[in-house]
Amino acid sequence: MTLGDKKEVTVGEFIDAIEQNGFRQARGEWIRYSDSGYVNYACAMGQACINLEVSYQDVRGRGFSSGVFSDIRSDTHEWNLTGYIMDLNDVKRLSCKEIAKRVREKFSHSLHKKVSFSTHKYPVKE
């Protein structure tokens, strides 16, 4: 995989990557780096992007209405996928495990849908 290549991921795989977790959970920001330049904190969306080695900027898009998940709507159509995860992370302050559980329930009809991301490797301490 070369950085900037495209990678297809299903919604289900993205949710699984949220649950993988691994970093302290950030609120109100996607990824926070330590003074030494390594990932220190990441929100649920950021953690999934790190785990899948895909660009969080593809998810975020411009104003959250143009990212790769902007047209993936909840079962009742009141949320797009990005907005729902951000609400659970930043407003409801749920753990990544609980976020993944709720998203699987509300977006069960979309778990098979594929989206394309640019690849990106994040600086993490092994």
Higher-confidence residue: 96 or 82? 96
DSSP, collapsed to helix, strand or coil, labels residue 54 as: strand
Q: Would you give the distance in Å from CA 124 to the centre of its chain?
A: 17
Tokens representing 29 are: 């920001």
pLDDT for the residue numbered 64: 45
Q: Kindly give the interhelix angle for 44-52 and 96-106, rounded to the nearest 10 degrees.
A: 90
Residues 38 and 31 sit within 8 Å (Cβ to Cβ):
no
pLDDT over threshold 90, residue 58: no
Q: What is the pTM of this model?
A: 0.85
pLDDT for the residue numbered 5: 87
Confidence of residue 62 (pLDDT cuts 50, 70, 90): very low
